[in-house]
Structure 1
Amino acid sequence: MGELANCPTCGALFVKGVQSVCQKCYKEEEKAFETVHGYIRKKENRTATVPEVSETTGVEERLIMKFVKERRLHTTHFPNLTYGCERCGEPIGEGKICNNCKDELRADLSLEEKIETIREKQDRESKITYFSVNRKDKR
């Protein structure tokens, strides 16, 4: 069952389930989607960027980017409809971060894993080392 939430667009109370906005705002978003999709479906507009589409259709850029993120508008058909990487801001067409940031994060995680392995090895070695004390030398 859905949870009770405020619509992020208009603030109205609604039951949050499949939709992330209230019914009224959902209908407005659908109307905006049809406007955007109708515009970029035309052959001469397929290479339009998000700002160009927004300016021509009057639909907010954030809403167009939402359609791309939700994969309602595919960047394979409309290659210039991109949004910024959440880490560095580079234009991307899918996911949350760009390939460069993914590679950096993988490298950092790999390095951290190696460091952790070395620490664990040092801990094991220090635990199995035995020291003997000669009682005669102790005096």
Structure 2
Amino acid sequence: MDLLNCPNCGEIFVKNSVRDVCDKCYREEEALFDKVYRFLRKQENRASRIERVSEATGAPEKLLYKWLKRGRLHTTQFPNLGYPCDRCGNIIKEGKLCDDCKTGIKGELDIYEKEQERLEKLNKAVYYSQDRRR
């Protein structure tokens, strides 16, 4: 059981796997979610971008990103919605990283692994010196 301060209002609350805000703020978020979902369900609004949804409903972009990341709003139903990559901030539809960042990290890991192998070989190498005193 974790006691935390609500990031929105500062109230103390018990954090659980479903809620990361206090009860009061959770109810406010749920009311906003209903408003956002009703907005997006209208045919003419399904292709809206985050900025438009936020402007039309009053829901902060940060909260919309949270719902997208948690799967409460589905990018398959609303094709122009997305959230920022955790590394570079480019808009993505799934996961935590964009394809470019995934490729970059994989490349960095490959370089690291090769360097580790090289260092391991160097540490195992045996060097012989010739004793010239004989």
For normalisation by structure 1, the TM-score amounts to 0.89
In 2, the alpha carbon distance for the partners of 1:41 and 1:56 equals 13
Identity, % of aligned pairs?
Answer: 46
Alignment correspondent of 1:90? 90
3-state DSSP class of the match of 1:75?
coil
Alignment correspondent of 1:130? 128
Task: Give the number of equivalent residue pairs.
Answer: 133
Alignment correspondent of 1:118? 118
From the two aligned structures, give the one with the greater helix fraction: 1
1:33-87 deviations in whole A, cap 9, x for unaligned? Answer: 1110111011111100011011111111111111101110011111111122222
Q: Pairwise mapping of residues 56-71 of structure 1 onto structure 2 (< 5 A)? A: 56-71=56-71
In 2, the alpha carbon distance for the partners of 1:114 and 1:80 equals 40
- Letter of the aligned partner of 2:129 in structure 1? F
In 2, the alpha carbon distance for the partners of 1:55 and 1:98 equals 26
Alignment correspondent of 2:5? 6
In 2, the alpha carbon distance for the partners of 1:71 and 1:12 equals 26
- Letter of the aligned partner of 1:15 in structure 2? V
Q: How far 1:8 moved relative to its partner?
A: 0.5
Gaps of 5+ in 2: none
1:78-133 deviations in whole A, cap 9, x for unaligned? Answer: 111112222222111122220101001100110110011011101101xx333342
Gaps of 5+ in 1: none
In 1, the alpha carbon distance for the partners of 2:127 and 2:34 equals 72
